[in-house]
Amino acid sequence: MTSTINRSLVDYLISTDYDAISTTVGLAAVVALLVLLVEREAVRAYGGDRARRWIHGLDVAVLPLLVSFATIILLRLLQLLPDA
């Protein structure tokens, strides 16, 4: 057990079903993505040399969230398909 993952978190994850955890994590990822995209557009509207550096930094943060968003959507769509 590491210092970042304590026993209560492990107990919570074990006792909670997959749908509740995936919904919570998915919602947090989507909200974070929306906040970063809005912030990126606000910085872009400001303009200037510093804005370009901020946009690059925000792009670095947005890319993994876009990948996780695509994964979330793909997994949710796969859940909707009938079992074949």
Per-residue pLDDT at 21: 72
Residue 20 to residue 18: CA distance in whole angstroms: 6
Q: What is the chain's mean pLDDT, rounded? A: 84
Whole-structure pTM value: 0.70
pLDDT number for residue 9: 74
pLDDT computed for residue 38 by the predictor: 95
**Interval 32-73: pLDDT, tens:** 999 999 999 999 998 888 888 999 999 999 999 999 889 888
